[in-house]
Chains A and B, each alone.
Chain A
Amino acid sequence: MLTGERRQGLALISPTLLYSLLMLAAPLVMVLTFSFWSQNYLELDTTLTLDNYREAWSKPIYSTLIFRSLKISLIVTLVTVVLAFPIAYYLSFHVKQRKALWLFLITVPFWTSYLLRVFLWKVILGYNGVLNTALKGVGIIEEPLTFLLYNANAVVLTLAHAWAPFAILPIFVALEKIDRSLLEAAEDLGDGPVRRFFRITLPLAMPGVVASTLIVLIPTVGDFITPKLVGGTDGLMIANMIQIQFGKANNAPLGAALALSSMLIVASISAVIFLLGKRFGGKVQ
Chain B
Amino acid sequence: MKSALKAFPAKWLAVYAVAYMVFLYAPVILLPMFAFNDATVISFPLTGFTAKWFGVLWQTEALHGALRNSLVVGLSSAVLSTVLGACAARAANRYRFPLKRGIMSFILLPLVLPEIILAVALLVLLMQLGMPLSLVTVVLGHVLICTPFAIAILSSAFQGLDQSLEEASFDLGETRWGTFRRVILPLVMPGVVSSLLITFTISLDEFIIAFFLTGTEVTLPVYIWSQLRFPGKLPSVMALGTILLVLSVLLLILAEWFRRRSAKKQGIEASATGGFA
A interface, CB within 8 angstroms of B = 2, 5-10, 12-17, 19-20, 23-28, 30-31, 34, 83, 86-87, 89-91, 93-94, 99-100, 103-109, 111-117, 119-121, 123-124, 126, 128-130, 133-134, 161, 164, 169-170, 172-173, 176, 180, 183-184, 187, 193-194, 196-197, 201, 214-215, 218-219, 221-225, 229, 239, 242-243, 246, 252, 255-256, 259, 263, 266
- Chain B: interface residue total (CB-CB under 8 A): 89
- Which of chain B's residues have a CB closer than 8 A to the CB of A6? 95-98
Q: Is the CB of B143 within 8 A of A119?
A: no
Residues of B within 8 A of A133 (CB): 43-45
**Smallest CB-CB separation from B111: which chain A residue?**
A215
Q: Which residues does chain B contribute within 8 Å of A259, judged by CB atoms?
A: 116-117, 120
User: Which residues in B have their C-beta under 8 angstroms from that of A164?
Assistant: 24
SS of B interface (majority): helix
Q: Which of B13-21, B48-56, B71-79, B185-193 contacts A (4 or more CB under 8 A)?
A: B13-21
Is A83's CB under 8 angstroms from B6's CB?
no
Asked if B225 is at the interface of the complex by the 8 Å CB criterion, the answer is yes
* Residue numbers in B under 8 Å from A120 (CB-CB): 27-28, 30-31
A111 surroundings in chain B (CB, below 8 A): 201, 205, 245, 248-249, 252
Cβ of A90: which chain B residues have Cβ within 8 Å of it? 10, 13-14, 16-17
C-alpha gap A103/B271 in the complex (Å)? 11
Given A111-B205, A161-B24, A12-B13 contact (CB < 8 Å): no
- Give the complex CA separation of A126 and B13 in angstroms: 31
Q: Is the CB of A10 within 8 A of B248?
A: no
> Which B residues are CB-close (under 8 A) to A24?
106, 109-110, 118, 121, 144
Q: Are A176 and B273 in contact (CB under 8 A)?
A: yes
For the residues of A in contact with B, the DSSP-based class is: helix
On B, residues with C-beta under 8 Å from A are 1, 4-8, 10, 13-14, 16-17, 20-21, 23-28, 30-31, 34, 42-45, 83-85, 87-88, 90-92, 94-98, 100, 103, 106-107, 109-118, 120-125, 127-128, 140-141, 143-144, 147, 201, 205, 207-208, 212, 221, 224-225, 228, 237-238, 241, 244-245, 248-249, 252, 256, 270, 272-273, 276-277
Shortest beta-carbon distance from A208 to chain B in Å = 11
Instruction: Check if A87 sits within 8 Å of B17, measured CB to CB.
Output: yes
Check B249 against A12 for contact (C-beta < 8 Å). Answer: no
On whether the beta carbons of B4 and A246 are closer than 8 Å, the reply is no
Pick the residue among B16, B116, B140, B249 that contacts A86 (CB under 8 A). B16
Given contacts A15-B87, A116-B27, 12 further A-B contacts (CB under 8 A): A9-B97, A9-B100, A13-B97, A23-B143, A86-B17, A114-B207, A124-B27, A130-B43, A133-B44, A161-B27, A196-B7, A246-B120
Between A and B, 6 residue pairs with Cβ closer than 8 Å are: A8-B95, A13-B91, A16-B88, A31-B120, A111-B249, A215-B111
